[in-house]
């Protein structure tokens, strides 16, 4: 390897790996690969997991692997439909288990329909170097609406699900991802529970353009909002917080009805006895955080930091 393709010493303090679960992303994946290949610091490895695509996603990924030796492609059989939440995490772990590199410092789950500045990863790693307790971070996400990109509203502590960049030590300590719809809520709350900082940064150089409208990739955006509410029930969200969150999300597309569907999805899951993420300590920490955000600190339970030993997720 010569020139830009040379990754340098894999033991570098800025060594990072990317895992890209994807299905039927032929319209977007090439521009995402091109964006990664043009980064000022290349990844040690990019594992693309073609999760049973029925379009040209797999062919495009294979062609990229022929050009870039740091890309490998995993092909999974077609399960018949896109499986969000648990399916994404299952595909992620197929890529994780296939990693050839083991001395990386950072780990990132990345979607196949995003683009960002060519020094994005260099800037994110610089932020983490400046703050050793920053365990997971991203820029702000912008989604396509009516021909223009509009900022996706996220609480300050949240990390983009589209480009989810973790310090390896943090990711391993929280036990990785749980294979459910709210995996991308559980992980950053667990990180904070263990004393890590997480967040999204507003710097223009860290903007993430998400080329597919959030929620449009599986059935419909209306179904996606119901699923969102059910996922909040699974995660353990406090009822007062879901009511406030639903009202807040009424300002997002689809206006009003989207927020109502989030609330409906949550309470439908509650009334039908859907299972919940079984970690009482986590739920206590989550409720404390949510009630403080609502200005109801007097209702928030008292919490203590768990053991600093590496954790595994409950079944």
* Same domain as 253, residue 200: no
Phi/psi at 26 (nearest 5 deg)?
-60, -30
* Same domain as 165, residue 19: yes
* Same domain as 142, residue 262: no
Query: Is it the case that residue 32 has pLDDT exceeding 70?
Result: yes
Question: Length of the chain, please?
Answer: 315
* Same domain as 245, residue 264: yes
- For residue 157, the 8-state DSSP code is T
CB 190 within 8 A of CB 136: no
Q: Is residue 281 part of a domain?
A: yes
Domain count within the chain: 2
pLDDT for 260 equals: 97
The domain boundary, picked from 165, 189, 210, lies at 210
* Same domain as 91, residue 18: yes
* Same domain as 69, residue 171: yes
CB 112 within 8 A of CB 48: yes
Q: Is residue 5 part of a domain?
A: no
CA 183 to chain centre: 8
CB 193 within 8 A of CB 306: yes
pLDDT band of 221, cuts 50, 70, 90: confident
| Token code pair at residue 130 | 């400046």
What CATH number is associated with residue 182? Answer: 3.90.550.10
Contacts with 279 (C-beta within 8 Å, 6 or more apart), sequence order: 236, 314
Q: Is residue 308 part of a domain?
A: no
Phi/psi at 208 (nearest 5 deg)?
-110, 120
Q: Is residue 215 part of a domain?
A: no
The domain boundary, picked from 210, 242, 259, lies at 210
* Same domain as 251, residue 177: no
Query: Is it the case that residue 16 has pLDDT exceeding 50?
Result: yes
CA distances from 12 to 7, 95, 139, 300 (A): 10, 22, 23, 42
Query: Is it the case that residue 127 has pLDDT exceeding 60?
Result: yes
| Token code pair at residue 188 | 């950053």
Query: Is it the case that residue 47 has pLDDT exceeding 50?
Result: yes
Distance CA 141, CA 149 (A): 9
* Same domain as 128, residue 189: yes
pLDDT for 219 equals: 64
Q: Is residue 196 part of a domain?
A: yes
Phi/psi at 270 (nearest 5 deg)?
-65, -50
The domain of 163 spans 13-210
For 165-182, the pLDDT digits (tens) are 999 999 999 999 999 889
Average pLDDT value for residue range 131-154: 94
Distance CA 78, CA 93 (A): 17
* Same domain as 241, residue 123: no
* Same domain as 161, residue 59: yes
Query: Is it the case that residue 7 has pLDDT exceeding 80?
Result: no
Using CA atoms of 32, 189, 91, 87 in order, give the dihedral in degrees to the nearest 10. Answer: -110
pTM: 0.90
The domain boundary, picked from 210, 242, 272, lies at 210
pLDDT for 83 equals: 62
* Same domain as 165, residue 107: yes
For 48-98, the pLDDT digits (tens) are 999 999 999 999 999 999 999 999 999 999 876 666 668 899 999 999 999
Nearest in space to 223 (alpha carbons), one of 268, 183, 188, 179:
268
Query: Is it the case that residue 307 has pLDDT exceeding 70?
Result: no
Work out the burial of residue 157: count CB atoms within 10 Å of its CB; fewer than 13 is exposed, 13-18 middle, 19 or more buried.
middle
| Token code pair at residue 63 | 């062609």
Q: Is residue 3 part of a domain?
A: no
Q: Is residue 65 part of a domain?
A: yes
Distance CA 42, CA 251 (A): 38
Mean pLDDT score across all residues of the chain:
91
pLDDT for 214 equals: 57
Beta strands in the chain (DSSP E): 16-22, 45-51, 71-76, 106-110, 114-116, 134-139, 141-145, 148-151, 163-167, 197-201, 208-210
**Structure-model confidence comparison of residues 211 and 220, the more confident one:** 211
pLDDT for 289 equals: 97
Q: Is residue 279 part of a domain?
A: yes
* Same domain as 181, residue 233: no
Q: Cis (ω within 30 of 0) for the bond into 254?
A: yes
């Amino acid at each position: 390897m010569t020139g830009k393709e040379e990754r340098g010493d894999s033991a570098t303090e800025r060594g990072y790996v990317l895992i890209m679960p994807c299905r039927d992303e032929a319209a977007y994946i090439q521009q995402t690969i091109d964006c990664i290949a043009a980064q000022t610091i290349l990844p040690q490895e990019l594992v693309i997991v073609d999760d049973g695509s029925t379009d040209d996603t797999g062919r495009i990924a294979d062609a990229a692997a022929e050009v870039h030796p740091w890309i490998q492609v995993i092909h999974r059989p077609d399960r018949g439909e896109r499986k969000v939440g648990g399916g994404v995490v299952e595909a992620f772990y197929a890529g994780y288990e296939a990693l050839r590199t083991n001395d990386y410092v950072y780990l990132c789950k990345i979607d196949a329909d995003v683009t960002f500045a060519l020094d994005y990863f260099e800037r994110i790693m610089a932020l983490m170097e400046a703050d050793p307790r920053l365990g997971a971070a991203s820029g702000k996400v912008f989604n396509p609406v009516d021909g223009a990109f509009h900022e996706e509203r996220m609480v300050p502590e949240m990390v983009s699900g589209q480009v989810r960049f973790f310090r390896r030590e943090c990711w391993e300590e929280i036990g990785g991802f749980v294979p459910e719809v709210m995996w991308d809520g559980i992980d950053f709350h667990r990180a904070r529970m263990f004393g890590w900082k997480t967040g999204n940064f507003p710097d223009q150089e860290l903007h993430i353009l998400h080329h597919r409208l959030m929620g449009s990739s599986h059935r419909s955006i209306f179904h996606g909002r119901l699923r969102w509410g059910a996922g909040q029930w699974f995660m353990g969200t406090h009822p007062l917080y879901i009511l406030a969150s639903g009202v807040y999300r009424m300002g997002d597309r689809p206006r009003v009805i989207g927020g109502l569907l989030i609330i409906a999805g949550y309470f439908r899951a509650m009334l039908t006895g859907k299972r919940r993420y079984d970690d009482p300590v986590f739920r206590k920490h989550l409720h404390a955080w949510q009630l403080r955000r609502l200005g109801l600190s007097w209702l928030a339970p008292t919490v203590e930091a768990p053991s600093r030993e590496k954790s595994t997720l409950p079944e």
